[in-house]
Amino acid sequence: MAKKIAIKKKAQTLAKKVKPWAGRFNETTNVLVEEFTASIPYDWRLYPYDIAGSIAHATMLGKTGIIMKKEAMRIIRGLEHILKEIATGTFEFSVALEDIHMNIESRLIQKIGSTGGKLHTARSRNDQVALDLRMYIRDEIARTHDLLRSLQRILVDLACRYDEVALPGYTHLQRAQPVLLGHHLLAYFDMFERDRGRLEDCFRRVDVMPLGAGALAGTVLPIDREFVAKQLGFSRISENSIDAVSDRDFAIEFIAACAQIMMHLSRLAEELVLWSSSEFGFITIADAFTTGSSIMPQKKNPDVAELTRGKTGRVYGSLMALLTVMKGLPLAYNRDMQEDKEPVFDAADTVAHSLSVFMEMLNSITVHREAMRRAAEDGFITATDLADYLVRKNLPFRQAHEIVGKAVLRAIELECGLVAMPLNEYKKLSPLINEDVYDALSLEASVGRRTSLGGTAPSNLKKRLRTLKIKMR
Ligand code: ARG
């Protein structure tokens, strides 16, 4: 999570001397402009990647003879010190130095003198920032991927614990057909499985090393990009220097993957909100994961689930923000692109935070099997099973549907469910219906017979859970 850091606002007079690019300027930067253009209040978080990238770059400069080996060593030692300074909170960030890249470089020069000025050889902040963001997103993908896996494990555990519990499956939020709770939960397993796949897919396009593109056109110096990529664990190197500094597809894809994770989480959250209401009474969420009302003493609100649902909106917002920032930008780098970081950070933080809290909450729920079962025994929920019963007696499904519709109407008149309607009433509707119809109408039969591949039958669920337990080990 982003912590707060102290940032020094340098006086204007000092600023001119401070800025690495000040040579071409006669006047100092307007203070408002300085604040407006600075990204250090948020991009300081990239420091571990910025330093790792700089160390790899300096090593390469030494190895290729672009700078002397011993100069490279001094630079690396300086950078390692700076890493410690930032990690321990003794580093002084400055708004006048705009961003994390210039803050670190200036400190390096301050510490080791003019040798520090050699670090930026054959490099631009344009390829540097692209590198940092790619490295950051690689780690966030790994973190989110792990969190999703943990959530999937919880879903499998819950599905195992409640593998025999039936509840109504809904369409249009109307009771439709009975299903097993385990089967219902594993629907979410599959959603999060696709989300993990999306992250893996996105990773392949993030994992491309842009350093060496320079400002946009490459460099005249004999750099070794393969070496840098290897040092930083990249599997590929960007092929076009202009694309390398102007591409933010990878960031958009990452936020899009986050948005879809949140959408799935939000749907599950919505079900928990419904299920924990008095109207459903299917589950209780533990006290630790609910909050009270300041006016209504009886209230226990599912705020974690609600906020997860709500935070989905901000991740969608980040996705729209970055898509909009990028639209219409001419090649190559434009300062607009500095606006990429906050949406990326916020999406990554929001997903990670939501997943972490949500998992604990999910672990805390108590399932009320009886309430679920009562709802699943709703008078007409096995109507499709009655139609299928007639189909098994060779009646075309359309005719069967018509007869069952009439049976439902008759049962409503008689104020009973399908299971309780006497056989003579069924006989009036179709001579094909016999005593054995009551077997077909039971909850157990309805669920138990849905053995088609991917259906809700207990035998299917058991098999799937066996596979998933091995897969998730
Ligand atoms: N802080 C900048 C960003 O986040 C770094 C790149 C700046 N490049 C430039 N030419 N001004 O995008």
Q: Which atom of ligand 1 is least distant from the CA of 215?
A: 10
Model confidence at 293, pLDDT cuts 50, 70, 90, reads confident
Exposed, middle or buried by CB within 10 Å (0-12, 13-18, 19+), for 239? Answer: exposed
- In the predicted model, is pLDDT for residue 302 greater than 60? yes
- In the predicted model, is pLDDT for residue 134 greater than 60? yes
Exposed, middle or buried by CB within 10 Å (0-12, 13-18, 19+), for 182? Answer: buried
Q: pLDDT at position 387, please? A: 95
pLDDT in tens, 87-99: 999 999 999 999 9
Q: pLDDT at position 26, please? A: 85
171 φ, ψ (degrees, to nearest 5)? -130, 145
Ramachandran bin of 315, using left for φ above 0, alpha for ψ from -120 to 50, beta for the remaining angles: alpha
**If you average pLDDT over every residue of the chain, what do you get?**
95
Q: Which residue is listed with tokens 């491309």? A: 208
- In the predicted model, is pLDDT for residue 327 greater than 90? yes
Q: Which residues does 367 contact at the CB level (< 8 Å), separation at least 6? A: 161, 162, 165, 181, 282, 283
Q: Which residues does 240 contact at the CB level (< 8 Å), separation at least 6? A: none
Q: Which of 19, 125, 131, 334 to mutate to test the pocket of ligand 1 (most atoms within 8 A of CB)?
A: 125
Q: Which of 36, 127, 129 to mutate to test the pocket of ligand 1 (most atoms within 8 A of CB)?
A: 129
**Which residue in the list 114, 172, 278, 294 is annotated as catalytic?**
172
Neighbours of 403 (CB within 10 A): 18
State percent of the chain over pLDDT 90.
91
User: How far apart are the CA of 112 and the centre of ligand 1, in A?
Assistant: 24
Q: Which contiguous run of DSSP H or E holds residue 170? A: strand 166-171
Indicate which residue's Cα is closest to atom 1 of ligand 1: 99
User: How far apart are the CA of 347 and the centre of ligand 1, in A?
Assistant: 21
Q: Which atom of ligand 1 is least distant from the CA of 98?
A: 1
Indicate which residue's Cα is closest to atom 2 of ligand 1: 338
User: How far apart are the CA of 27 and the centre of ligand 1, in A?
Assistant: 21
User: How far apart are the CA of 104 and the centre of ligand 1, in A?
Assistant: 14
Alpha-carbon distance 354 to 335, whole Å?
A: 31
Q: Which atom of ligand 1 is least distant from the CA of 39?
A: 1
Tell me the average pLDDT across 116-142. Answer: 98
- In the predicted model, is pLDDT for residue 283 greater than 90? yes
Q: pLDDT at position 6, please? A: 78
**Which residue in the list 150, 277, 293, 459 is annotated as catalytic?**
293
CB-based contact 419:178 (threshold 8 Å)? no
User: How far apart are the CA of 235 and the centre of ligand 1, in A?
Assistant: 25
Neighbours of 192 (CB within 10 A): 21
Token pair for residue 260? 């879809």
User: How far apart are the CA of 98 and the centre of ligand 1, in A?
Assistant: 9
DSSP states along 271-321: HHHHHTSTTT--EE--GGG-B--SS-TT--B-HHHHHHHHHHHHHHHHHHH
Model confidence at 9, pLDDT cuts 50, 70, 90, reads low
More confident residue, 252 or 300: 252
Residue 252: closest CA among 338, 320, 178: 320
User: How far apart are the CA of 20 and the centre of ligand 1, in A?
Assistant: 13
Alpha-carbon distance 116 to 94, whole Å?
A: 18
In the structure, which protein residues have their CB atom closer than 6 angstroms to any atom of ligand 1?
Answer: 39, 43, 99, 125-126, 129, 333, 335, 337-338
pLDDT in tens, 170-203: 999 999 999 999 999 999 999 999 999 999 999 9
Indicate which residue's Cα is closest to atom 12 of ligand 1: 338
81 belongs to the catalytic site: no
Tell me the average pLDDT across 244-268. Answer: 98
Q: Which of 21, 40, 127, 338 to mutate to test the pocket of ligand 1 (most atoms within 8 A of CB)?
A: 338
- In the predicted model, is pLDDT for residue 10 greater than 60? no
pLDDT in tens, 65-94: 999 999 999 999 999 999 999 999 999 999
Model confidence at 13, pLDDT cuts 50, 70, 90, reads very low
Indicate which residue's Cα is closest to atom 11 of ligand 1: 335
Helices (H), 327-432: 341-363, 369-376, 383-392, 397-414, 423-429
Residue 370: closest CA among 457, 283, 273: 283
Q: Is 456 helix (H, G, I), strand (E, B) or coil?
A: coil
Residue 318: half-sphere exposure toward Cβ, Cα within 13 Å:
27
364 belongs to the catalytic site: no
